[in-house]
Amino acid sequence: MSIYASAAPITTTINNQTQTVYPCLFPNCGKTFARLYNLKSHSRTHTDDRPFMCQVCQAAFSRNHDLKRHVKIHDGDKPFRCMGCNKSFSRLDALKRHKSNQRNKTACLPGT
């Protein structure tokens, strides 16, 4: 376990509600988590620890959910389509990135 994930929880009370959080101790991070396992998972993003590996391309990830999101690019299913240029994407975030790209803003307008 990372030293950044071994933090003791901090308990605060605001408006008669008690909240316990686990802070990330990595310098300048400032993130807090309601559950210790989320802090442990997050702490790997600050290190080279990448235990989750794609069996197709050997890309490695620090969190399992990042691997699960990644493997969608290999399955061939591309349900997210740009209505401007008809290009398809396996993930919604890739379509959003495509649409926000300055070069695509005018090129992908329907009818252009």
Q: Give 17-45 pLDDT, tens digit per residue.
A: 888 899 999 999 999 999 998 998 888 88
CB half-sphere exposure, 96, CA atoms < 13 A: 3
Question: Bigger pLDDT: 32 or 4?
Answer: 32
Amino acid identity of residue 67, one-letter, is L
- State both tokens at 50: 């990448």
How far is CA 19 from each of CA 6, 15, 37, rounded to the nearest angstrom? Answer: 18, 11, 17
Highest mean pLDDT (candidates 11-15, 33-37, 108-112): 33-37
**What pLDDT score does 110 carry?**
62
Q: What is the pTM of this model?
A: 0.59
Amino acid identity of residue 102, one-letter, is Q
